[in-house]
Structure 1
Amino acid sequence: MSKKKLKIAQDYTTTPGPRYIKEGSWSGEKLRNEIVFPQVSESIKKNEKIEIDLDGTAGYGTSFLEEVFGGLIRENKLDYDELVEFIEIKSDEEPYLIEDIFEYLKDAYENPDE
């Protein structure tokens, strides 16, 4: 299976911001809508993995990451099982974020109305 790569620091920003677009620049909502959702959807259709590299930024707020990843299920209605199969997270600088992200996916799947 081939693999596509998305590096947040190069493809979006080195200074991730708030959760929602209305709250300020470089939001998680904008990243999800404009970059992550289209690229993840395309990867699933093409049956290729996508590596999302979190390294190289000033850091991430939990609400930012929850919006990006939990929002794929809650807002964009992607399938949990496909996301877990096709998404790979790279975070050498803050490895705990990998587990956090998969928890956000699981929570959005198990509690879709929250």
Structure 2
Amino acid sequence: MENILIKVLDFTEYPDVRYIEQDENSGEQFYYDVVKPNYEKAISENKILLVDLDNTAGYASSFLDEAFGNLVYDFEYKNIISHLKIKSEQEPDWEEIILNEILPSWKKKYEKGNPRKEVK
């Protein structure tokens, strides 16, 4: 399967906080502006969304949590796992954290009926 490559660095060198109202470089903003539309494209074209996390100033876990966890509320979980790949040579643990901790945690939250924060 082909990849659609997105780089966080193309969004910002300084990924910041969780929510849009906290900062324009938030994980929530990255999700709605970059991740979600590119993930929709990956699904419709039967491709993999490859997200490159390298070459930024670093990450708050809340940025990554919000940037990827929201996928669970908008897409089928089984498709997320099969159409999303995370790449980081600088911090290879991020891939495991996102795929094996963040996404399953949001899946549990979603299955319990917990609403996500609404974007204003």
The one-letter amino acid of 2:69's match is G
> How far 1:25 sits from its partner (Å)?
2.7
Q: Partners of 2:105 and 2:89 in 1: how far apart?
A: 24
Gaps of 5+ in 1: none
Task: Specify the alignment match of 2:96 in structure 1.
Answer: 99
Count, aligned residues: 111
Task: Specify the alignment match of 1:33 in structure 2.
Answer: 32
Task: Specify the alignment match of 2:118 in structure 1.
Answer: none
Task: Specify the alignment match of 2:83 in structure 1.
Answer: 86
Gaps of 5+ in 2: 116-120
Deviations 1:59-85 (A, max 9, x none): 1111110001111113xx211110110
TM-score under structure 2 length normalisation: 0.88
Give the 3-state SS of the residue equivalent to 2:4 in structure 1: strand
- 1:1-114 equivalences under 5 Å are 1-9=1-9, 11-74=10-73, 77-102=74-99, 103-112=101-110, 113=114
Q: Partners of 1:97 and 1:31 in 2: how far apart?
A: 17
TM-score under structure 1 length normalisation: 0.92
> How far 1:104 sits from its partner (Å)?
0.8
> How far 1:31 sits from its partner (Å)?
0.4
Q: Partners of 1:39 and 1:4 in 2: how far apart?
A: 7
User: Please, what is the CA RMSD of the aligned residues?
Assistant: 1.1
